[in-house]
Amino acid sequence: MTENGNNPEVRIAPPPVKRIRASGPILVLAILFVVACFLTWYLTWFGRGLSDAEITKYLSDYSHPRHVQHALLQVQERIERGDKTASQWYPQIVALAGNPETELRLTAAWVMGSDNKSEEFHNALKKLLMDPQPIVRRNAALALVRFNDASGRAALMAMLNPFTVNAPVAGTLESSLSKAASVSRGTLLARIRMQSGEVAAMRSPLSGSIDNIMVATGANVTTGQPVLTIKSDEQSIWEALRALAVVGTREDLALIENYASGAATNSDRLKQQAALTANAIKSRMNVNEKSIKQ
């Protein structure tokens, strides 16, 4: 023993370490959570390939719109690859053009444009030009251009002009949106408080930005009264300009040249495409005039 009373031969044992064992049920729950997340991602990921049987099943699964959209995109990929087996689902796709779900009609319209040799697709697309939803009419018009069909020209020109949103019911308007505010399809534009006390939602049918507000918040509106206008988003305008290069006429040039000059847009991309579209229309008109003279 040393002078300070310490005995170097005495060893102090460290206190025993308590090991916390993982709870079995917690581990199981954690694993199930991870598996559930993976399955949700896997089953809703549109890039996942589907078998023929799955495509047939999904195209009829109206209670799960994402399943239908997944199958539609799979059929579109087959069409673009030149896979003749895709035609077996054409009747189901045509049937979707009459489905009450807007998302399914607009996706079906886009897919039908992938085969411009299908007469059943062609006829279905022409009917969709009368769809109550502008987004469906626009998709149908763009798809019809692939058939070299100009019957959707009015819908294409409408994409270059602001779209008017009317009040769905009568009542007092309540809105906090301002001019130039960006909106997506489905965005709440305003609420209308009816005389009964019920409130109706007025949602945007298109993506874009608020172009003009015609009714101030707090004012009374009547059913069908114009409330505001929405300018199409840049991608939609660009698609319309590209399509009009094929089916546009001399009567369309004034508005198209407004885009080319910058009077209707600040986007260089749209200015460039508008100039190309105007030149394409003029060239086509010149060719037609020469052929008539001959």
**Whole-angstrom distance, CA of residue 129 vs CA of residue 239:** 17
pLDDT value for 27: 54
Question: What integer pLDDT is reported at residue 133 of this predicted model?
Answer: 98
Q: 39 — phi, psi (to 5°)? A: -65, -40
Report the pLDDT value the prediction gives residue 200, as an integer from 0 to 100.
97
Edge-to-edge strands of the sheet including 171-174? 199-203, 188-193, 171-174, 220-221
Q: Which helix or strand (DSSP H or E) is residue 121 part of?
A: helix 119-128
User: CATH number of the domain at 163-232, out of 3.40.50.720, 2.40.50.100, 1.10.10.10, 3.40.50.2300?
Assistant: 2.40.50.100
Query: What does the alpha-carbon distance between residue 81 and residue 86 come to, in Å, rounded to a whole number?
Result: 10
SS3 81: coil
Residue-level pLDDT, tens digit, the chain, 294 residues: 545 455 555 555 556 655 555 555 665 555 555 444 444 434 444 456 799 999 999 999 999 999 999 999 999 999 999 999 999 999 999 999 999 999 999 999 999 999 999 999 999 999 999 999 999 999 999 999 999 999 999 999 999 999 999 999 999 999 988 999 999 999 999 999 999 999 999 999 999 999 999 999 999 999 999 999 999 999 999 999 999 999 999 999 999 999 999 999 999 999 999 999 999 999 998 876 666 665
pLDDT at 286: 85
* Tokens (6 digits) for 144: 């019809």
Domain 44-148 adopts which CATH fold? Leucine-rich Repeat Variant (1.25.10)
Say if CB 175 and CB 189 are below 8 A apart: yes
